[in-house]
Amino acid sequence: MDYVNKIFFVLLGLFIVLNWGLIMSGLIRKIIARIGNRIGIRIYQPYINLIKNYFTRSQISHGVMYYLGPVFRLSGGVGIFLFLPLIYGSEYWSNFSFTGDLILVSYFMFFGMLGMALGAGEGGHPYSTIGISRGLAQFTAIEVPMILAVISIAIQYQTLSITEIVAAQQGGILNWTLFTNPLATIAAMLSFLGAMGHSPFNVVMAPQENPVGPPTEYHGTFLGVLQTNRAILHVVEAIFFMNLFFGGATNWFELILKTFLIYFWSVFVGVVFPRYRVDQSISWLIKIPLVIGVLAIIFIM
């Protein structure tokens, strides 16, 4: 395919993923509200929040690094999207995936958080470094079981290309990694809870805990960029997990359904459990998911 067509389909895919992310977050909040016997927000409320944030009339900037924080975060989210094949078997929706994109996508997941931490440190808040170091420490502990599961899968399928991993899972439900390598799936899904930013791991970003979190000082357009990134990031992380563990998607309907169910797993746990403090969450993450991840590697060998 020539490059112009490719770029057009990449941008179209990004647009679809962004819209689906915003609608999904509204839908999930509606479901959480109905669980709590409330009527809940409107499903298109995230769009209104985005429009309101992008059109604030005045803004405060604290310097170059503060400005670049949301830029890094958004580039992390878009970076994951660019190298992730969305739909298996379709030449249009495979973005720029190549052999070895498994490592690149795992790198981009951490890059966004790191960039925003650098930006938030410049925020003019005297204690923001405390919040950032807590957030980064917790995120490191979340990433370790995930990478162990990814390594286990790479050894199992003898490849580092996501497209080939999806190809190996076709042909029926029992071929999914969920059933051929359950330990890796369990380790990755437990760390997925932390990556999505819901309870019990949301002490860093929850709005009630805001004043020492990284996005405290961000407002207006900056916050709009962060919210856009959050919508994209949730969907692409769910797509990443879907490709690795749940058989990939062969059409858009299957993609939407599977990402919704995978994201719903984190919400399902989130509404029931309260928050962990950072030291509690790190000690839990190092005990159970890490051990399961190590066992996943051992059993594959």
Partner 1 sequence: MVNKENEKDKFLAPENKVHIVIGPEGEEITVDPLKDYFCEAFPKVHEPKNRIVENFINWARAESLWVLGFGTGCGSIEIPPLLSPRYDAFRFGVAMRATPRQSSVIIISGYLSVKTLKRVIRSYEQMQNPKFVVALGSCTINGGMYWDSYNTINRLDHYMPVDVYVAGCMPRPEALLAGFESLKKRIKEGRAEGANEYATNFKWYKANQKKIIKDWNMPDYNW
What residues line the site for partner 1 (CB under 8 A)?
33, 36-42, 45, 48-49, 51-52, 55-60, 207-211, 216-220, 223
Nearer to partner 1, 6 or 30 (CB): 30
Smallest distance from the beta carbon of 117 to partner 1, in angstroms? 18
Smallest distance from the beta carbon of 214 to partner 1, in angstroms? 12
C-alpha 301: how far from its chain's center? 29
Which amino acid, 16? Answer: I
CA distances from 217 to 60, 228, 229 (A): 9, 17, 17
Smallest distance from the beta carbon of 215 to partner 1, in angstroms? 8
Nearer to partner 1, 46 or 289 (CB): 46
Nearer to partner 1, 6 or 62 (CB): 62
| Per-residue tokens: 125 | 């808040």
Smallest distance from the beta carbon of 42 to partner 1, in angstroms? 7
How far is residue 17's CA from residue 166's CA, in Å, rounded to a whole number? Answer: 20
Task: Spell 272-299 as b/e; 16+ CB within 10 A means b.
Answer: eeebbebeebbebbeeebbebbbbbbee
Smallest distance from the beta carbon of 94 to partner 1, in angstroms? 36
Nearer to partner 1, 89 or 220 (CB): 220
Q: Is the C-alpha dihedral spanning 275, 280, 283, 287 positive or negative?
A: negative
Smallest distance from the beta carbon of 39 to partner 1, in angstroms? 5
Nearer to partner 1, 52 or 287 (CB): 52
Task: Spell 220-236 as b/e; 16+ CB within 10 A means b.
Answer: bbbbbbbbbbbbbbbbb
Nearer to partner 1, 105 or 117 (CB): 117
Residue 77, C-beta contacts closer than 8 angstroms, at least 6 positions apart: 112, 229, 230, 232, 233, 236
